[in-house]
Amino acid sequence: MSSTTRTMAAPRTRVVLAALLRKELRVELRSFEAVPAMSLFSVTTFVLFHFALQRNALSGDLASGVLWVTLLFAAMLGINRLFVADAEQGGFDGFLLSPADRSVLLYSKALTLLAYLLVLEVVAVPAFALLLLGSALWPALPGLLVVLALGDLGIVVIGTLVGALAVRTSVRDLLGPMISLPLLVPVLLCAARATSPVLGAVGAGALPLRWLVTLALYDLVFGLITFAVFDFLLED
């Protein structure tokens, strides 16, 4: 044994999490690899929908479908980038060499993806209201925020898992969306159904509770699955 007696207390989760989040923020602010692309992509997609559907204003089912499909595809860009810096620059190994709890990496990545999505929506939702939405945004906003929160949660738990699954493969940009999109269909389905009455042509309708509960349960189940299997993606 080494002659120096060292206290080998495990590093505190909160300290590690704060350090990892600070790292994520700095890397993104300096490289601009994810968030600007996601936001710009969403606005471009709204323009595409305008021409593809040949409509100036959308409401109801169509509005909610266009909004959610756009958000989902924009989220794919973030999911694909989420672990790239760690896989390419050795952050995974550096993390595994430390005594820090493995699940802190999951928490930090999930929170990072959530932050990506929030910034995306700060850009995409007003842009959508401006460019495509037939009715006013303000009355619909409270209901929309609830659905967005639950939808984001679903994208976060599945995106973090699939991002980690795909990043160390030879075709990660393809596998990420191919695996995560089918898994996200129930999220899309529930979120789109819950959003469509809110974006109704004759003013915001009530939130359909059934879809919100289903969505929340789906988030919960896949949150637990992601938590349970994430560690196995780290070790070698």
The one-letter code for the residue type at 203 is: G
Per CB under 8 A, does 142 bind other proteins?
no
Residues binding other proteins: what is the number (CB under 8 A)? 62
Angle between helices 141-167 and 172-195 (to 10 degrees): 160
Among 69, 123, 189, 207, binds other proteins (CB under 8 A): 189
Among 16, 58, 66, 110, binds other proteins (CB under 8 A): 16
Per CB under 8 A, does 193 bind other proteins?
yes
For 127-151, the DSSP string reads HHHHHTBSS-SGGGHHHHHHHHHHH
Among 51, 56, 138, 171, binds other proteins (CB under 8 A): 171
Q: Are 76 and 180 contacting, i.e. CB atoms less than 8 angstroms apart? A: yes
Per CB under 8 A, does 115 bind other proteins?
no
What gap in Å lies between CA 81 and CA 113, rounded to an integer? 10
Per CB under 8 A, does 36 bind other proteins?
no
What gap in Å lies between CA 21 and CA 24, rounded to an integer? 5
Per CB under 8 A, does 44 bind other proteins?
no
Per CB under 8 A, does 201 bind other proteins?
no
Per CB under 8 A, does 25 bind other proteins?
no
Per CB under 8 A, does 5 bind other proteins?
no
The number of angstroms, rounded, from the C-alpha of 147 to the middle of its chain's C-alpha atoms is 14
Per CB under 8 A, does 235 bind other proteins?
yes
Residue 167: Cβ within 10 Å count: 23
Q: Tell the burial category of 196 from Cβ atoms under 10 Å away from its Cβ (0-12, 13-18, 19+).
A: buried
Per CB under 8 A, does 220 bind other proteins?
no
What gap in Å lies between CA 60 and CA 64, rounded to an integer? 6
Per CB under 8 A, does 31 bind other proteins?
yes
Among 71, 79, 82, 100, binds other proteins (CB under 8 A): 100
Q: Which CB atom, from 131 or from 183, has the smaller least distance to other proteins?
A: 183
What gap in Å lies between CA 200 and CA 61, rounded to an integer? 8
Q: Are 234 and 105 contacting, i.e. CB atoms less than 8 angstroms apart? A: yes
Binding region for other proteins (CB under 8 A): 1-3, 8-12, 15-16, 18-20, 22-23, 26-27, 30-31, 85, 89-91, 93-100, 161, 165-166, 168-172, 174-175, 178-179, 182-183, 185-186, 189-190, 193, 210, 214, 218, 221-222, 225, 228-229, 232-233, 235-236
